[in-house]
Amino acid sequence: MTKKFLSEHNISFEEHNINTEPEYIDYLKEKGFRSVPVIEDNNDPIINGFRPDLLRNLVVQ
């Protein structure tokens, strides 16, 4: 749902899939996350989980 939201609003993103890149599991655990998706901006986590209310803040009007 997060990828769909970002794509529909023309927000570019880089995906790291923990199924194909399991090293990211450790990366997320080190940052304190236990669930995905995690949206980062310049390596600073800003959103965890599907949060349309917060994702709307990324949409440039």
Residue type at 21 in one-letter notation: E
Mean local confidence (pLDDT), 29-50: 88
Of the candidates 35, 27, 46, 37, the residue with the CA atom closest to the CA atom of residue 3: 37
Which residue ranges make up each domain of the chain?
Answer: 2-58
Check pLDDT > 70 for residue 61. Answer: no
Residue 19: other Cβ atoms inside 10 A: 7
Q: Which pLDDT score, from 0 to 100, does residue 20 have?
A: 96
Q: The pTM is what? A: 0.78
